[in-house]
């Protein structure tokens, strides 16, 4: 069974930030189906709502935002 974004958030990302006393307030993702769907039915949307995390998406057709966001996240992770 493939690993889902919800599993990664719940099992790895959020515990990592909690260990460092950092509250995740907002997550920026692309508009992929694994992240976006009906807020009342999609697993990812439901999970971020339960965790009280704001979910933002990049503008369609703007890969530079996703790339710069990923690079920024990688730098932040290394400095923690």
pLDDT 10s digits, 35-57: 888 888 999 999 999 999 999 99
- Rounded Cα distance, 34 and 11, in Å: 17
Query: What is the three-state SS of the chain?
Result: CCCCHHHHHHHHHHHHHHHCCCCCCEEEECCCCCCCCCCCCCHHHHHHHHCCCEEEECCCCCHHHHHHHHHHHHHHHHHC
| Dihedral of the alpha carbons of 8, 46, 30, 54, in degrees to the nearest 10 | -100
Encode pLDDT of 13-38 as tens digits.
999 999 999 999 999 999 888 888 88
Segments making up each domain of the chain, as ranges = 5-75
């Amino acid at each position: 069974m493939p690993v889902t974004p919800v599993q990664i958030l719940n099992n790895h990302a959020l515990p990592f930030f909690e260990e460092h006393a950092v509250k995740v307030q907002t997550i920026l993702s692309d508009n992929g189906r694994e992240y976006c769907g009906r807020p009342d039915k999609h697993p990812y949307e439901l999970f971020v709502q339960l965790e009280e995390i704001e979910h933002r998406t990049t503008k369609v057709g703007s890969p530079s935002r996703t790339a710069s966001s990923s690079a920024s996240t990688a730098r932040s992770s290394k400095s923690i």
